[in-house]
């Protein structure tokens, strides 16, 4: 039971989520470099991907890319 | 049936190629893990600003609070992910003229729509299942109090699946009426979130699909009967309208 967990332990628990966010961000930035984009310029998409955790990369994947 | 099978498979392949599953998994599963952890960390975050005796009174969360918080985020953010993943599925194919070839080969339009609908439903239901059980695991692990039973999780899952029937069908409907996926997404969001507005009126509440989300707190199927019937009925109407609209679309 993790009832009396301190912040360090909780951060350890959060690590998978932080790693996932980082991987998703890098993946989207690499894709952005090679993709044709729509609605916004590439630099704006890059900012969206970096600033908005999780939501930014997904918004880019769903709305920002020209379909293959 | 050949069209259905072919399109179901095609949607699956496209889901991988267009990263739709990454979007759905992020929107649905992520919060199931994040919410219980953030809820648990909240007292620590505010400990410098609020007196210690108040923290225990204000932030005494139970396992069911973690589930309720997850469902709230699922409705507010997860729904957006589901809508924008499905928003371009009809209009993009029509206006990029990719649909012309299968149709000239004799593909059935109604089966194409049904395959798209069922594909999204299966994907969303799968991620919901994983999300809810992960949330249950984390909530039971991190919080004191009565544990969330498997039967309760299954009932919540059932109600959420029915709600997402409605969300997917309305998204496909708007996708057949608009030229761009962003417009379809915005319209579907407006329609889905307006059901929450409808629930503000006590007399209309039980007829609103959003009532299914509200009833996840009480987990009583008897109370949800009317909302379930209305939601399934609306879903069927939207599907029939989508098929009829798709049949009447002029393809170049």
**With 50 as the cut, is the pLDDT of residue A1 above it?**
no
SS3 of residue A65 by DSSP: strand
pLDDT tens figures, A32-46: 999 899 889 999 999
Percent of chain B with pLDDT over 70: 97
Write the residue in B30, B92, B142 that is nearest to A54 by C-beta: B30
B33 touches chain A (CB under 8 A): yes
- By the 8 A CB rule, do B243 and B109 touch? yes
The set of residues, in sequence order, having a beta carbon less than 8 Å from that of B96 and lying 6+ positions away, is: A67
Would you state the pLDDT for residue A68?
61
pLDDT tens figures, A9-29: 777 778 888 888 999 999 999
Q: Give A65's strand partners.
A: A37
pTM as predicted:
0.88
pLDDT tens figures, B139-167: 888 887 788 889 889 999 999 999 999 99
Contact residues, chain B, for A57 at CB < 8 Å: 26
- Subunit contact A20:B30, Cβ cutoff 8 A: yes
Q: How far apart are CA B75 and CA B192, in angstroms?
A: 9
ipTM over 0.85: no
Query: How many interface pairs between A and B have CB atoms less than 8 angstroms apart?
Result: 51
Nearest-CA neighbor of B128 among B172, B78, B185? B78
A34 touches chain B (CB under 8 A): no
B246 phi, psi to nearest 5 deg: -65, -35
Write the residue in B26, B30, B92 that is nearest to A67 by C-beta: B92
Integer CA distances (angstroms), B168 to A17, A21, B52, B241, in order: 27, 27, 46, 13
- By the 8 A CB rule, do B172 and B238 touch? yes
């Amino acid at each position: 039971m993790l009832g009396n967990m301190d912040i360090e332990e909780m951060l350890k628990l959060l690590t998978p989520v932080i790693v996932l966010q980082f991987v998703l961000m890098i993946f989207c930035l690499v894709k952005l470099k090679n993709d044709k984009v729509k609605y916004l310029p590439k630099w704006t998409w890059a900012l969206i991907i970096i600033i908005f955790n999780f939501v930014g990369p997904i918004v880019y994947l769903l709305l920002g890319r020209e379909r293959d | 049936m050949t069209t259905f099978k072919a399109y179901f498979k095609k949607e699956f392949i496209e889901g991988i190629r267009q990263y739709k599953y990454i979007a759905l998994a992020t929107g649905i599963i992520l919060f199931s893990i994040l919410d219980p952890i953030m809820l648990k960390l909240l007292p620590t975050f505010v400990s410098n600003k609020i007196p210690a005796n108040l923290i225990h009174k204000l932030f005494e969360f139970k396992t069911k609070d973690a589930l309720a918080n997850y469902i709230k985020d699922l409705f507010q953010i997860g729904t957006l992910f589901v809508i924008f993943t499905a928003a371009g599925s009809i209009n993009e194919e029509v206006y990029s003229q990719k649909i012309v070839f299968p149709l000239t080969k004799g593909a059935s339009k109604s089966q194409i729509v049904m395959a798209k609908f069922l594909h999204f439903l299966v994907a969303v239901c799968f991620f919901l299942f994983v999300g809810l059980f992960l949330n249950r695991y984390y909530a039971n692990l991190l919080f004191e109090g009565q544990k969330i039973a498997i039967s309760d999780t299954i009932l919540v899952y059932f109600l959420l699946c029915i709600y997402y029937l409605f969300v997917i069908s309305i998204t496909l409907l708007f996708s057949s009426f608009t030229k761009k996926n962003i417009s379809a997404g915005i319209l579907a969001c407006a329609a889905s979130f307006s059901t929450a507005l409808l629930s503000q009126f006590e007399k209309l509440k039980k007829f609103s699909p959003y009532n299914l989300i509200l009833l996840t707190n009480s987990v009583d199927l008897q109370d949800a009967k009317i909302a379930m019937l209305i939601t399934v009925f609306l879903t069927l109407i939207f599907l029939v309208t989508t098929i009829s609209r798709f049949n009447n679309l002029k393809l170049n």
